Structures are given as structure tokens and as C-alpha cells.
Structure 1
Amino acid sequence: MEGHHHHEHHHGDESALADLLDLDAEVLGPFLDELTAWVGEQADRTPRTVADLGAGTGTGTLALARRFPAADIVAVDRSPLMLDRLRAAARGQGLGERVRLLQTDLDAALPPLGAPDLVWAAASLHHVEDPARLLREVHAALPPGGLLAVVEMDGMPRLLSDEAGAALEARCREALAGSGPDPYPDWGPVLAAAGFEVAARRDFPVEVRPAPPGAVRYARAVLSGYRSRLAGHLAAADLAALDRLLSADSPESLRHRELVVRGTRTAWAARRPAPGGARVLPAGPIRWDA
């Protein structure tokens, strides 16, 4: 979600996407603290420089800045609009001095990041045209023992708590999955092929209930996205149900529904191995946290 593919968006879409990312922060912010804590546990040193690839409006950037108060953060995104939002948010949190913005297209090449100890790519890697190439470049930019954290989400969060609503959302998600490529591959083998040692993989179930105040706007953004993208793929009754949810004056409107925010984020922690295997791996198989 933090990243997006640039061939599909013009400016109006981009500002709508920025709004959605800011809402994402509002709705899922507390979860990010859990995720950055986990990443900190995987790192074998306190990072001095952290790079956020595909930073969007900076939810992850600012969570990393809070988690690692001694680190400088480099936020990379191709969108000036996103970076403007990020700059304002960083200043608002008193983090402006520690966050450096880099406007660049990751499809072109990885920019000089200033020797990061930790690279973070949340919901951005699957938007890159050649992820394998980018991962090799990240591997080269990290010092031996340096860490890369890749985070993905299993599609849009689920928001309706009643049975009929949940079933409607499930059909929307299924139709979306059928109408395009998978949202992301299993990055484990891709990371290994780029020279990384995958240290851990973990699923983070996200459940926010009661839903925070921003959830109605968030649900409206998600469901109107389904409505516009699935017009030709859903049964008429489902499209009508979405219209009622999105309408301001229907008794079935989102405003009158009990909402909950549920989803899963998957994170991979991968290391650039130290030369000569200086880093000792535990005996036995790697434990994959479920």
C-alpha cells in the first residue's frame, strides 16, 4: 500500500492514494510499532542509517525514526506529492532534522543511500519492475551483517463485521485476486537468490476493534476502490450492495455499520551475510515464526 505502480496513476489518483496512506497510518499506526520492534530484534546492531524504499507519505519512515532515535532516516519515493506530505508530517512530529528525502524512481536504479545498516521496503517491492535487480543493489549497499526488512499485506484490510458484509468483502477480494497478478510473491527465494540470508519470516495478524474514528473514511476508500475496479466482475446484487454501503442516505450505509479493521502483514528479515560466515547461525533449521 505504501508504494504504487507509476504507470497506472495520474495526479488526482496520486493525491487520493496519499489520503488513503495517511488514513492507513491513522487506522493501523499502533501495529507498525510492533513491526518495527520485531525488525529491531532481528538487527545485530543499532542502526545509524535507515533507508525506507517507497516511503509514500511516511508512515513507516516516522515509525522507524521513533523506534531508532539515534538513526538518520533516508526516505525514497518517486512522487514529489508523497514526499511533500512526508516532509510536513516529519516536521509536525519534530523529526524533520533526522529525515532526508530522496525523490527517485527505483525502477531506474537504487540511489546512493549513505551506507544504511537497515533498509525497509513496505508494500513497495512488488511495484518495482525488476525486484531481483533492486534486491541485488540493496545487498551491495548494505554492510556485511546489515538488514533488509520487506513487508507486504494480504490485500486490503477487511472492515465489515457482520456476516453478510464479510461475505461480500470476501467475494470482492476473490474477484480482485482473479482479475490481476498476485499482489506479491513469496519473497524468501527471491531474497536468497539476491545473496541474502533470510533470518526470519513472520505473519502479523492485525485486528483493530473497535475501529478508530478514521475507519469509516478508510472503508469508503477501500469499498469504492472495489466498486470501480470490479464493475465487470461482480454479480449485480453485490454491486448494488456496495452502492448501498457507499451511499450517504441508505440505512445500510457504512456510517451505520459496526466496523473492525482486520488483515495480515507478512514480514521478512534478511541479512547480507558477513564474509567467511562470521555470523554464527543457530544449529538446526531456521525457525519460521507463524
Structure 2
Amino acid sequence: MDHQHAHHHAGHAGHAGHAGHADHASDSSVADILDLDAEVVGSYLEELTAWARAHTTVAPRTILDVGAGTGTGTWALASRFEAAEVIAIDQSPVMLDRLQAAAAARGLTGRLRTVRADLDAGWPPIGTADLAWASSSLHHLADPDRVLADLHTALNPGGLLVVVEMDAMPRFLPEDVHPGLEERCRAAGARNGWNAWPDWTGHLERAGFTVAEERVFAIDVRPAPPAAGRYAHRVMSGMRDRLAEHLSAADLAALDRLLDPADEEFVLRRGDLVVRGARTAWAARRA
């Protein structure tokens, strides 16, 4: 879930981890958002990790989670590949502390190794792996092409790299509630570089990978779980704070109603929320 500029999470609500430089004052808040994202939409990872497994040529013994954040991908990978050790790489000690606590609670301490590393400063000495996973982390690095080359070297022959990106901010409102509001907010965010990432295909190929497949995973959670209201509140608050100069007065007024505890439209009291979004994933193999 995304991190080089940690304060963006309230707007992006990206599923990310800290791979590069972090704003340490914001790490706890970012971690909370990542955990909300996992609680609300994390079920899509079952399909995504099954897809990743179908692209592996050997059963992974060692997996790298690059920019692990609070461990959403870490636990999905550990569940899918039950015999593998997972090495979680993150720049933030806050994230790594949460990972270690969660590993203990899940009985997975023996299968998890955490590595604190700023990947903008260089690749850590962690040995080789059979599978690497980078979810919403590459696009926050200063030189992602160098890190992709490092990942290519770190993977064993035939090893697989899975890159995942969040397509845009999630949507929560039914179609007949403030029609078009969230799409206009998403468009304004895109114009201002929120959650921007490149088509990684060319970058992967230049690093020496062969791209086996690119796939979009749609997310449509309905009925929304109880945590969806808190997640929606964080996302909408971020949009209201950071896009105020780019939205119409009518759209700002609509957001204000959704964020006002005294208003009947207050998002934390709504029972009609749905959660829609998408992730794009690349499966790339080291020849």
C-alpha cells in the first residue's frame, strides 16, 4: 500500500508498503489506512495470489515482499505458499513492528523475516528468492529501474516478480447518491498526479524480465463490511483537504455533507455503501 510521501495515503488510500523514504511522523496514520484497506478489500488477494501461483514454475521457498507496509500482501503470500519463508522489506520501523506483532499473533514468526531498508539508497544483502512481490511500492522509488534490475538479480532463474498497482481511489457511494461526485474527484486526483504509475511492461523488459501476463482485478464489495465507513471517511477527507482548489463548490458542499457528523448523509452512518475499485498486476519471469 504507498509511502515515499506518506501523507498521500489519505487521498490515495493505496494498498502499499514503505520501499523508499518515509515521513515518519505519518507512519502510524498510514499504517492505519493500510490496515483499513486490507480489512475492506483484502479478499481480492485470494484471487490475485492464486493467479501468481499459476505463473510460478517452482514452489517458492523464499518470497520477497518489497515495500511490505503492514503486511497485507505478506499474509496473503504466506497463506498461499505455505512452505515458503517471506522476507518483508520496508523502510519504516513502525510498519516492521506491526508486521512482527501480527506474525506473532498469527503464529508465523518462524516464517517471517523483516528487513529494514531504504531501497533508494541501495539493495539490501538478503540473498536470493523464488518469488518477489511489489504492491503499490515501485512508483514511489526514486529509481525504480535500478530496483527492478536489483530484483532481477535477486531472483533465482525461473523466479517470478509480481507487480501490483491500485488503479485509482476506491469508490463507495451508490450510483444515485451525488451522481458523478467520486468520478470527478478521481479525475481531479489523476490530474494532480495522485496514484500515478507507469505501464511497467517496458520497465520490466528492460530489467531483463519476460512479462507473462498483465491483468486487471476488479474489486466490488457489496454489502460493504462495517469498516468501509471508516475507510470511506479517510478517503473522502483526503479528497476534501487536498483537492479543494480543483473541485466545484457543489462537489465541495457534497463532500462536506458526507463528512459532517451532524448531517443525515454522514458517511459513517450510511448503510448503503459499496466498495469498487481495481488493481492492475504484472507477472514477470526471470528467464
TM-score, with structure 2 as normaliser: 0.91
User: What residue number does 2:104 align with?
Assistant: 91
- Aligned amino acid, residue 282 of structure 2: W
- When residues 166 and 75 of structure 1 are mapped into structure 2, their CA distance, relative to the original with a 3 A threshold, is farther
Q: 2:254 aligns with which of 241, 245, 256?
A: 241
Q: Hey, what's the Cα distance between the residues in 2 that align with 1:93 and 1:34?
A: 21
Superposition map of 1:134-213 within 5 A: 134-180=147-193, 183-213=196-226
The reply to whether residue 258 of structure 1 matches residue 272 of structure 2 is yes
Superposition map of 1:75-114 within 5 A: 75-114=88-127
TM-score, with structure 1 as normaliser: 0.90
Displacement of 1:243: 1.1
Q: Hey, what's the Cα distance between the residues in 1 that align with 2:230 and 2:270?
A: 13
Does the 8 A contact of 1:49 with 1:114 survive in 2? no
Gaps of 5+ in 2: 8-21
Q: Hey, what's the Cα distance between the residues in 1 that align with 2:266 and 2:165?
A: 30
Per-residue CA distance 1:101-134 (angstroms, 9 max, x = gap): 1111111112123211000000111111111111
Per-residue CA distance 1:125-145 (angstroms, 9 max, x = gap): 111111111101111111111
Superposition map of 1:124-139 within 5 A: 124-139=137-152
User: Secondary structure of 1:259's partner?
Assistant: coil
The reply to whether residue 49 of structure 1 matches residue 62 of structure 2 is yes
Displacement of 1:28: 1.3
**Root-mean-square deviation over aligned CA pairs:** 1.4
User: What residue number does 1:65 align with?
Assistant: 78
Does the 8 A contact of 2:68 with 2:88 survive in 1? yes
- Aligned amino acid, residue 74 of structure 2: T
- Aligned amino acid, residue 215 of structure 1: A
User: What residue number does 1:280 align with?
Assistant: none
User: Secondary structure of 1:105's partner?
Assistant: coil
The reply to whether residue 5 of structure 1 matches residue 18 of structure 2 is no
- When residues 59 and 253 of structure 1 are mapped into structure 2, their CA distance, relative to the original with a 3 A threshold, is same
Displacement of 1:183: 1.2
Q: Hey, what's the Cα distance between the residues in 1 that align with 2:239 and 2:76?
A: 29
Does the 8 A contact of 1:3 with 1:55 survive in 2? no
- Aligned amino acid, residue 284 of structure 2: A
The size of the alignment, in residue pairs, is 272
Computing the radius of gyration from Cα coordinates, the structure with the larger value is: 1
* Percent of aligned pairs sharing the same letter: 57
Per-residue CA distance 1:186-236 (angstroms, 9 max, x = gap): 101110111100011111111110001110000001100101110111111
